[in-house]
Structures are given as C-alpha cells and as structure tokens.
Amino acid sequence: MGVLLGIMPWNFPYYQVARFAGPNLIIGNTVLLKHAPQCPESAAAMEQIFRDAGVHEDAYINIYATNDQVSKLIADPRVQGISLTGSGRAGAAVAEQAGRHLKKVVLELGGSDPFLVLGTDDMDAVVEAAVTARMDNAGQACNAGKRFIVVDGLYDEFLTKFTAAVTGMQYGDPSAEDTAYGPLSSALAADRLEQQVKQAVADGAELVGGERDGNFVRGGVLTNVQPGNSAYGQELFGPIAQVYKAADEADAIRLANDTEYGLGSYVFTNDPEQATRVADQIEAGMVFVNCVAADGVELPFGGIKASGFGRELGRYGMEEFVNKKLIRINA
C-alpha cells in the first residue's frame, strides 16, 4: 500500500511496535511510528534496532508528534493506512479522522477478557494460569484475564486459592529477583485504578487486598460485582481481579459476553467437547483453551465489539495493509 502510520502505546513499548512494523516492512510498506509520550527513549531505541538490522533509514521513521500533528498526518495523501493500539477514545478519534479521508484502519483497543473455569482435575494449575493471566505487567495489558467466571461447584476452592496467590505477590523494584511485579505506569494510572476500586466497593462489591502504596498497588480481588456496579462494565488496568460465580455453563457464557469488549478470552475445562462448544459461543476475537500467554507471531491478534477491528500478526495481520489486486488477462 505504501506509507503507514503506527500509533503505539506505552505498556509494551518494544513488542507492540515490532508486531506492527515487522510484518509490514517485510511485505513492502514503510512505517511512520508515533509512540506514546511516556516512552521516548524506547521509541528512539526501537528505531535504532531497525537501523542496526539493516532497514533503510526512510523505511522506518520514529516521530514525536502532538495529537494535532497526528491529525495532519492522517489527512496527508501519502499516508495510506493507520494502525492504533490504545484506548477506545483514541481509537474512535483516529477512526473518525481516517474515515473522512477514506483510509484503512486497524484498531487494537481495550479489553475486559473473561477467564472461564468450567472443569478441572488440577485446581492449582488453573489458579497458577489465572494469576499469570491477571498479573502480567502488573495487570496493565489489554488482553489480560480480568473477569474470572467460575462455575458454582469450583467457585469456593478457586476463590480461596486465587485470592491468596494474588494478594501474596511481592511488588517492588522490577529489576530485583524477588519482585513479582512493578509499579503502575504513572501516578495518574494509579489514581484512576484507585478511584475505580473505591467506587466499586461503594457500589456494593467486596474487596480483598488492593491497597495502594505510591504508584504500587497490591494485588486485589473484587467479588459480588453486580450489574449496575460501576466496575461491572469497566476495564481495570492494573492488578485487580473480579471473580464471579456462575450457576452453570450457560450462565458462565452469559457473564463472559455481558460486556462491550471482545478482545481475548480463556476457557479452562477438562471436557474437550465443552471446550469447543463454549469457545464457539464466546464473543471475542481470540479464545485460548487451557492455556495463557499462548499468543505468537504466527497467530492473528485482535478483537471485536469495543475492542476494535482488524488483525495484527499471522497471515491475517500481514494482509491488512496490502492491495489485493486482480489482474485478468484475456489470452
């Protein structure tokens, strides 16, 4: 297609750029990369990595730009497509501007991914996977497991073990060997999470853990989050999990889909037929069965609903910004 504009977030400042820029450079597009203002040094380092790898200096260009300057880039006829990873508000603004100029857009936005526990022969392994799904990067990941939906017969055991594991994790200096996770990205991020949790409790939820310590937040678990509670429909971007009790499989699916988001999801069961049946009914761009942290460069990444549209990575991601031209010759 030509020149692409990438607008990338702070939470995975190298990986996010690589998964957008790498495939597009391979297929022949060039990249203007506008990184998040929180990570200017990572942005510069990423540009240097591409230089050191032999990428032409005009094929990948790191830019520091304001929102107004980004709007002008979107309008520039030389820019053929835009890929954004970020908030729903940012995605809507970019999509609106791109639409005015008939530009192709890929949006990877927020998520409130459900983690369904429907059956297991090893609860400890399920809990370990659940902790990984929630606490990676201090919970600051769009595709993290955030809502843990457990069938009635397994709920009490899961909640007890999961709460103990999450609240017992050691936060601190990310470079220290005994640290499980580091601080939130900023005081503003910690403020927002603290306000969300306080409002959830005020609305009737019960909280274990979750205390704030500067920009650190102790792992916490919210239960009794009912429809109408502010947290029920929110994405909590930090180390706070919500745990729900489901009456049965159908109720678990209902709870999983009762959200505006549709990025990823996780299904844990020891019944292969149930795994397929439930995965088919989950409203999300990705379903991982009995595994977490299982995405890969060969697999498409993306969501539906308010989590965006289009794909990155894999064959589908590589075909987002290409011209699928038909040439028919009458011999």
Question: 153 and 260 share a domain?
Answer: yes
- In which band, very low, low, confident or very high, does the pLDDT at 1 lie, cut at 50, 70 and 90? confident
Within a domain: 81: yes
For residue 26, being part of any structural domain is answered with yes
Q: What is the pLDDT of residues 109-161, one digit of tens each?
A: 999 999 999 999 999 999 999 999 999 999 999 999 999 999 999 999 999 99
Name the domain count of the chain: 2
**CATH code, 86:** 3.40.605.10
Q: Are residues 28 and 92 in the same domain?
A: yes
> The domain that contains 276 carries what CATH number?
3.40.309.10
Active site residues: 108, 142
- State pTM to two decimals: 0.95
Contact 239/134 with Cβ under 8 angstroms?
A: yes
* Per-residue pLDDT, 69: 95
How many other CB atoms are found less than 10 A from the CB of residue 173?
10
In a domain, 296, yes or no: no
Say if residue 137 is in the same domain as residue 230: yes
Please, which pLDDT band fits residue 59 given cuts at 50, 70 and 90? very high
Assess whether 100 and 117 both reside in one domain: no
Same domain, 163 and 179: yes
Q: Which residue is it, tokens 């606490």?
A: 135
Has residue 136 been placed in a domain? yes
Q: Are residues 54 and 185 in the same domain?
A: no
- 103 and 142: one domain? no
The verdict on residue 174 lying in a domain is: yes
Q: State the residue range of the domain holding 9.
A: 3-109+307-318
The model's pLDDT over 167-213, given as tens digits with 9 standing for 90+, comes to 999 999 999 999 999 999 999 999 999 999 999 999 999 999 999 99
Verify that 44 and 193 share a domain, yes or no: no
Whether 331 maps to a domain, the answer reads no
